[in-house]
A and B are shown apart, each in its own frame.
Chain A
Amino acid sequence: MAFRYRAEPRVALTFVGDGSTSSGAFHETLNMAALWKAPFVLVVENNQYAYSTPLSQQTANPDFAARAAAYGMPGVRIDGNDVLLVHETVSEAIARAREGGGPTLIEAETMRMLGHAIHDGAEYVPAELLAHWEARDPVTTHRARLLESGAATEEQLASIDAQAKDRIARAVKTAEAAPMPDPTQLEHGVYA
């Protein structure tokens, strides 16, 4: 809304999970975003579980994209594991928002392959469901697509993998080498 206030051609992109769609904030936000044609794109990553609670125990209507119609805004449900489709859909929504066409709700269907957090073994997720989504892993399928189309070679992809792993390793090393905060700084930054 600050972009709209200052008439700037900028767009806010927000990601939420399927779990958040049941909250009052979800409803209030989309209602106001559509009302004021906010330059806003909401991506609902529907990964089937809110912590341990499956979609079937969250809502009688798991078609989240359909909720957009209730607010008077476009909504679209896509395969969230299709990298090119996600790129295309989000680009379209951003362009529309930038031109004053208002917000879009994009529901990207996907799967949470690990637990809610590191402590969570996610034993509550059926093995067959994980196997179903394992076969649709976007890293694997998009890699195959890049190779098939000739957009990239095995060597290039291996190099990107190595660079990414190296970058993460360096970030971890930097963080671990950094000093811990001084306890006397406890109250620093409470206020701007």
Chain B
Amino acid sequence: MSENFGFSEATIPEGRILTYLEAIAEAIAHEMERDSNVLVLGEDVAGSFGGAFKVTRGLEGRFGPNRVMNTPIAELGFTGMATGMALMGLRPIIEMQFADFISSAFDSIVQFAATTHYRWGGAVPWVIRAPSDGGIRSGPFHSQNPEAWFVHTPGLKVVAPSNPADAKGLLAAAVRDDNPVVYFEAKPLYRSITGYVPEGDHVVEIGTAQVVRDGRHLTIITYGSQVHQAQEAATALALDGIETLILDLRTLKPLDVDAIIESATATGKVIVVHAANRLAGVGAEVAALIAEMAFEYLDGPVVRIGAADTPVPFSPPLEDAHRPNAAKIEAAARKLVAF
């Protein structure tokens, strides 16, 4: 699937169609090039290996071992270390090999990094890259979407790009932000999604959602991998004349409340979708905001679609039952449109 986000095929410069993964890698290298305070650390990120997903391959050769550091398996320790480095003016990009492992670093993130500025004014400009999401038969320890924990934590920012251009632009913004930013990159998109990515400096402002499809019958608010599932559902719905507006949140904290309310009032029928657990997920907050701020515009209940309240199953049919997908979104959309 190739999505060029407003750029026509004819005007795209040669070689600027990148995968989601290539866009992340390009952003890291670009930020390291422009600021010597930017460094990369994490498990297996250095050398020719270059990370479990090869995002950081080649970086150590280019920037040296001081700026691309392999760490021991010690998420709590190396996140704490990065917090110290950030307090002293560096801008570490921490690769959390899998987003699932972030719970080992939880104390360091939520007790210390997130609260430091409020407690005594110390800025912690690190980024945690958290490869998240499943659907690729990776089982319970390599498939999770734990973003809600961090959206619930004051002092953090949380972003979740759905396409290559945003993957680059949001990572650049995260690195340059003076606050701790958790950057959720959707593993299933790494090599399956390509798109135009601007060369050189490309920054997507944190806190800005984007309408990625216009429509008048129904609004789907989503982010990450589910943007693509929503697009697939919308394409099917369009065959029956149902026009779907899709809002890609892009940033989960701070939420773009204006864009949420505007997209909800535009159609009066809203589905909120994410791959993360539905229960107490980000979608619950979005639905509540709409109920509070756009109640009189609604022509039906705000519907939430998310993963079931179970660990991520390894078995393929169970994982498919666990996760949202285009078919489930389409079915919910037809029901809501008929409401």
Contact = CB atoms under 8 A, between A and B. Distances in A.
Interface of A: 1-3, 5, 12, 24-25, 27-29, 31-32, 35, 189-192
A192 B123 contact: yes
A189 B76 contact: no
Contacts of A3: 88
B117 A25 contact: no
B179 A28 contact: no
B71 interface: yes
Contacts, number: 61
17 contacts: A1-B84, A2-B89, A5-B90, A12-B84, A25-B76, A25-B77, A28-B74, A28-B77, A29-B81, A31-B74, A32-B81, A189-B117, A189-B118, A190-B117, A190-B118, A190-B155, A191-B155
Interface string B64-98: 00110001101011101100110111100000000
Interface string B114-139: 00011001011100000000000000
B39 interface: yes
Contacts of B123: 192
A31 B155 contact: no
A191 B118 CA distance: 7
A32 B155 contact: no
Nearest to A32: B77
Interface in B85-113: 85, 87-90, 107-108
Contact of A5 (B39, B76, B108): B39
B199 to A, nearest CB: 29
A2 B87 CA distance: 9
Contacts of B87: 2
A107 B206 CA distance: 46
Interface string B143-165: 00000000000110100000000
Contacts of A31: 72, 74, 77
A135 to B, nearest CB: 38
A5 B90 CA distance: 9
A28 B155 contact: no
A190 B153 CA distance: 11
B178 interface: yes
Interface of B: 39, 66-67, 71-72, 74, 76-78, 80-81, 84-85, 87-90, 107-108, 117-118, 121, 123-125, 154-155, 157, 178-179
A15 B154 CA distance: 27
Which among A1, A25, A35, A190 has the highest number of chain B CB atoms within 10 Å? A1
B16 to A, nearest CB: 33
Contacts of A29: 77, 80-81
A118 B88 CA distance: 33
Contacts of B66: 5
A190 B118 CA distance: 5
Contact of B117 (A1, A2, A32, A191): A191
A35 B73 CA distance: 13
A27 B121 CA distance: 28
Nearest to A33: B81
Contacts of B154: 190
B40 to A, nearest CB: 12
A92 to B, nearest CB: 23
Given A189-B117, A190-B118, A28 B84 contact: no
Nearest to B154: A190
A2 B88 contact: yes
A85 to B, nearest CB: 28
A100 B169 CA distance: 39
Which A-B residue pairs are the 5 nearest by beta carbons? Answer: A28-B77, A2-B88, A192-B123, A192-B178, A28-B74
Nearest to A191: B179
A27 B87 CA distance: 22
Contact of A25 (B80, B85, B89, B155): B80
Contact of B76 (A1, A12, A28): A28
A31 B78 CA distance: 11
B76 A2 contact: no
A29 B72 CA distance: 11
Contacts of A191: 117, 155, 157, 178-179
Nearest to A24: B76
Contacts of A12: 84
A178 B88 CA distance: 30
B85 A2 contact: yes
A5 B124 CA distance: 17
B39 A35 contact: no
B75 to A, nearest CB: 9
Contacts of A189: 117-118, 121
